[in-house]
């Protein structure tokens, strides 16, 4: 690691230590830690759990918005010798394979849980379901992981279950999933539909905030683009040394555009795009031509024997496809199956949140016929899509993306007056990223 990266790493470690110290020993009952993608949120949760159960001998609860996140946290915490580690999930759930035989899950809340210092990992809904059995102060410390995905209304019932609360989350990614029209609530004094940290900061702006200043996942070029486009209020830099995170191909390229894009990644451009001629078909829910190119990109990575230099040769498990729509994702799966690459994971953006993969292949949400909707433009969704990769991300879409961005006219009534307009912010991010890719010669036309 170079001296500059070392210095950044030390700063990041100091922030992590200070945030944990404040959350566990400080006079403020609530601490918020904002984190960019790949900054080590879960590592922070691990460290906080270790400190809290050490000398202060606290009863800690780690709360996640959804159940899949709680399994990931438990998987990580199993790597520590904590005085007690417990998992509680809903009665109808079964443990995923990765945790089977490693921990005994409690189906629902049980009186035997939370006795003495240690950690219970559960999700917000489960605690709310057993609220009648849980008194205020049941826990000494509550760590809310992925807190920006937890709606304030879901945090409310459990908010007094611990004396101290530490919220950890990424403010640039997907907001809590709320399907109902919340425009009327926007005028309310209590923005109950906002994420829990946003709600807290709206009511208590003096709440201690710590900002993790580095990303350990994204290479510097991606990090710079992501930070400028999605995190205007959160400054961070990559501490990934490009020399340690290189892609190399054993077989030279021959496919125009596709191999050129892959070679660009090997040369150090970790975010590139491939465009398919024309526009998306007007009356199809999946663009088969784009899906075919995405499958081809995956195939070429493997045929060319892509290698994470110093680590391993990449396999299907090292590639992830991201599509905002389930049906379009199904078309990609079909194409992958047809070229014998059916072990490559294809998921929606929501499913990819919180995960990482060496190489991601992303369908551009503005590769569409007609005008983009708020869903297509949403900033958080695009941010998640572009921040999963450790080595490289290949965006695939129609060449019409440029004109979709150029011709977009934003409606002034997309949100309640005075409210944050995520659609507009998303549009600006799209425009910035596409322009940067074009200026830097990172768009490869088929």
Partner 1 sequence: MNAFDDTLHRVMARHMNRALPMRTSSGLSSDPDVSIGIATIKIVTEEQIQAIAYGPLDGEPEVIVRLDPIGRDVSDLVPFANFMDQTANRALAADGALRVWIPHSVTLEALDILGHRYWQNQAAPDAVVRMGKICRIIAHEATFPGQQVVADAASLLQDHIVTGLAPIEEGHLGAVLAWLDPAIRDPLTEARERIRLPASGILPNTPDQPADDRVDRLRKELKRAAGPHKTVIEKEIQDILRRWVLREWQLLVEARRAFLALDLPPVRLEELLEDSTKRMSYALQNGHFPARQPHKLAALLAQMEAGLEKAELAALEGDPILRDQARSAGKVVLGVVSDVRQPRSGRAPCDIDIESNQGVIRLRLDDKVKVVGTTITGVVRGVFSTQSGGTRVSIQITNGVRQTSSLSVGAKLEVMRAGYGFVNLSALQLVKQRQPWVFFGNVSPCVASGFPSGRSALEIAAGIRKP
Residues within window 71-130 making contact with partner 1, judged by CB under 8 A:
79-82, 92-94, 96, 128-129
Find the binding residues for partner 1 in span 364-403 (CB under 8 A). 370
Size of the site for partner 1 (CB under 8 A): 76
The answer to the question of residue 66 lying near partner 1 (CB under 8 A) is no
The answer to the question of residue 133 lying near partner 1 (CB under 8 A) is no
Out of 1, 7, 115, 131, which residue is the one contacting partner 1 (CB under 8 A)? 131
Decide: 272 and 258 in contact? Cβ < 8 Å: no
x/- binding map, residues 408-427, to partner 1, per CB under 8 A?
--------------------
Out of 106, 207, 260, 432, which residue is the one contacting partner 1 (CB under 8 A)? 207
Residue for token pair 């829910």: 285
Output the smallest distance, CB 409 to partner 1, in A: 16
x/- binding map, residues 173-192, to partner 1, per CB under 8 A?
-----xxxxx-xx--xxx-x
Q: Where are the beta strands (DSSP E) in 277-350?
A: 306-308, 312-313, 319-322, 345-347
CA distances from 404 to 198, 258, 280, 287, 372 (A): 32, 23, 11, 16, 8
Output the smallest distance, CB 270 to partner 1, in A: 28
Q: Strand order in 312-313's β-sheet? A: 247-249, 306-308, 312-313
Output the smallest distance, CB 330 to partner 1, in A: 3
x/- binding map, residues 321-350, to partner 1, per CB under 8 A?
-----xx-xx--xx--x----x--------
Checking 433-442 for CB contacts under 8 A at 24+ apart, the result is 433/225, 433/229, 433/382, 433/386, 434/273, 434/401, 434/402, 434/405, 436/225, 437/271, 437/272, 437/273, 437/395, 438/402, 440/269, 442/264, 442/269, 442/271, 442/272, 442/273
* 320 vs 76: CA distance, rounded Å: 22
Two tokens, residue 49 = 């759990």
Our CB check for partner 1 shows the closer of 106 and 153 to be 153
Only one of the segments 102-110, 200-208, 301-309, 426-434 lies at the binding site for partner 1 (rule: CB under 8 A); that segment is 200-208
Find the binding residues for partner 1 in span 211-270 (CB under 8 A). none
């Amino acid at each position: 690691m170079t001296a500059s990266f070392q210095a950044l790493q030390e700063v990041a470690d100091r922030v992590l230590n200070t945030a944990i110290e404040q959350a566990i020993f400080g006079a403020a009952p609530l601490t918020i830690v904002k984190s960019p993608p790949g900054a080590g949120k879960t590592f922070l949760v691990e460290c906080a759990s270790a400190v809290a159960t050490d000398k202060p001998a606290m009863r800690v609860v780690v709360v996640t918005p959804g159940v899949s996140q709680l399994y990931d946290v438990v998987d990580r915490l199993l790597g520590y010798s904590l005085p007690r580690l417990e998992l509680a999930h809903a009665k109808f759930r079964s443990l995923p394979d990765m945790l089977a035989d490693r921990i005994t899950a409690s189906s629902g809340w049980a009186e035997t849980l939370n006795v003495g210092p240690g950690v219970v990992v559960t999700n917000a809904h489960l605690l709310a379901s057993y609220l009648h059995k849980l008194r205020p102060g049941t826990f000494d410390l509550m760590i809310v992981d992925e807190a920006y995905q937890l709606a304030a209304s879901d945090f409310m019932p459990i908010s007094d279950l611990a004396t101290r609360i530490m919220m950890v989350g990424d403010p640039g990614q997907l907001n809590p999933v709320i399907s109902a029209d919340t425009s009327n609530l926007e005028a309310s004094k209590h923005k109950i539909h906002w994420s829990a940290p946003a709600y807290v900061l709206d009511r208590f702006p003096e709440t201690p905030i710590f900002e993790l200043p580095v990303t350990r996942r994204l290479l510097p070029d991606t990090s710079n683009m992501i930070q400028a486009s999605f995190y205007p209020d959160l400054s961070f830099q990559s501490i990934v040394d490009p020399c340690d995170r290189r892609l190399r191909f054993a077989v030279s390229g021959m496919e125009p555009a596709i191999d050129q894009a892959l070679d660009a990644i090997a040369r150090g451009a970790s975010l590139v795009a491939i465009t398919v001629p024309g526009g998306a078909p007007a009356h199809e829910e999946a663009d088969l031509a784009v899906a075919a190119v995405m499958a081809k990109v995956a195939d070429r990575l493997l045929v060319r024997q892509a290698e994470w230099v110093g680590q391993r040769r990449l396999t299907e498990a090292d590639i992830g496809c991201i599509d905002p729509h389930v049906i379009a994702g199904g078309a990609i799966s079909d194409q992958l199956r047809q070229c014998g690459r059916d072990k490559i994971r294809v998921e929606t953006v929501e499913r990819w949140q919180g995960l990482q993969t060496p190489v991601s292949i992303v369908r551009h949400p503005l590769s569409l016929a007609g005008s983009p909707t708020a869903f297509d433009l949403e900033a958080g969704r695009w941010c998640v899509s572009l921040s999963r990769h450790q080595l490289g991300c290949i965006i695939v879409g129609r060449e019409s993306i440029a004109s979709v961005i150029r011709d977009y006219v934003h409606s002034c009534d997309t949100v309640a007056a005075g409210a944050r307009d995520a659609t507009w912010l998303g549009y600006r991010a799209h425009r910035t990223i596409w322009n940067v890719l074009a200026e830097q010669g990172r768009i490869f036309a088929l």
